[in-house]
């Protein structure tokens, strides 16, 4: 994981194209999230998402990726990541993470949101809130930090200090660089580590994606060779955004407002390039 690899740094114009992909992705996730209700199948959610990309002239970077059969990952309850859409029908109280990506003119974006269907359980509301807020702390650290490792430290510190039941941070699945490919160097850890990672500098684009669980962090992969589940059956959550660093600051490419509202709460001013 910690081997030094080449990082692809982007120009301002390339970041603008990634922003176009991020806006299409944000719209597609908006509509998939709105459709996530009791009685909907995860395959129907996939169709909603894919339809938005098609109408926008974008393509999915998940579909066909190492043989993945759909345009989104739908991870329900104890499924952590990489859940395959299918015939499962959402039930009252389910928690589902919807993870998707889009390509526009060869440039990628990647984002995930978690939805609680029907009547929420308080412990699931807490899980999703802490995961989302941890993501934003990681994004804020990208604006103020010196090395990529500062992102994981910020996420870890926030989760460890959260006022509520202790949550586990997965270490086997981490964030990543993104650009001309969906997964690139560097790895973006979601936990504090002695590994500092590369320096944060203009042109760096990252997918920041903490994954938290209500129980132990041990996971297993199902027989479909994709779906990752918690071994103890406890529930999991994922939130993710694609973020760019440029000469003027940072820009959350997969958020409709560029991350302005949430980052303002943390004292960070977003610097759009448009």
Known binding residues: 82, 99, 110, 176, 183, 209, 240
**Spatial distance between the Cα atoms of 61 and 107, rounded to a whole number of angstroms:** 10
DSSP 65: G
**Spatial distance between the Cα atoms of 8 and 242, rounded to a whole number of angstroms:** 15
Q: Which residues are annotated as a binding site for a divalent metal cation?
A: 99, 110, 176, 209, 240
Single out the residue of 167, 203, 202, 204 nearest to residue 188, CA to CA: 204
What is the side-by-side strand order in the sheet with 228-230?
79-81, 228-230, 219-221
Q: Which residues are annotated as a binding site for substrate?
A: 82, 183
**Spatial distance between the Cα atoms of 196 and 147, rounded to a whole number of angstroms:** 6
The answer to whether 251 touches 19, Cβ cutoff 8 Å, is yes
The answer to whether 75 touches 97, Cβ cutoff 8 Å, is yes
DSSP 146: S
The answer to whether 120 touches 93, Cβ cutoff 8 Å, is yes
């Amino acid at each position: 994981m910690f081997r030094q690899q080449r990082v692809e740094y982007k120009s301002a114009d390339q970041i603008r194209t990634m922003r176009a992909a991020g806006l299409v992705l944000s719209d597609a996730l908006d509509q998939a999230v709105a459709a996530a209700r009791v009685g909907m199948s995860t395959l129907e959610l996939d169709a909603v998402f894919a339809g938005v990309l098609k109408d926008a002239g974008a393509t999915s970077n998940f579909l066909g990726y190492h043989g993945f059969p759909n345009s989104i990952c739908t991870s329900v309850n104890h499924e952590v990541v990489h859940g395959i859409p299918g015939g499962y029908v959402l039930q009252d109280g389910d928690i589902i993470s919807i993870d998707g990506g889009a390509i526009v003119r060869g440039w990628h974006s990647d984002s995930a949101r978690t939805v609680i269907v029907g009547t929420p359980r308080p412990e699931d509301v807490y899980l999703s809130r802490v995961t989302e807020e941890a993501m934003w702390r990681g994004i804020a650290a990208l604006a103020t930090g010196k090395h990529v490792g500062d992102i994981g430290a910020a996420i870890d510190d926030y989760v460890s200090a959260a006022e509520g039941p202790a949550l586990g941070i997965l270490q086997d699945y981490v964030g990543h660089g993104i650009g001309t490919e969906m997964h690139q160097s560097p790895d973006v850890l979601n936990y504090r580590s002695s590994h500092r990672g590369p320096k944060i500098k203009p042109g760096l684009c990252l997918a920041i994606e903490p994954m938290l669980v209500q129980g132990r962090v041990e996971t297993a992969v199902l027989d479909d060779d994709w779906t990752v589940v918690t071994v103890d059956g406890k529930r999991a959550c994922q939130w993710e955004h694609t973020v760019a660093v440029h000469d003027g600051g940072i820009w959350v490419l997969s958020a409709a407002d560029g991350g302005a509202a949430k980052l303002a709460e943390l004292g960070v001013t977003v610097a759009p390039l448009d």
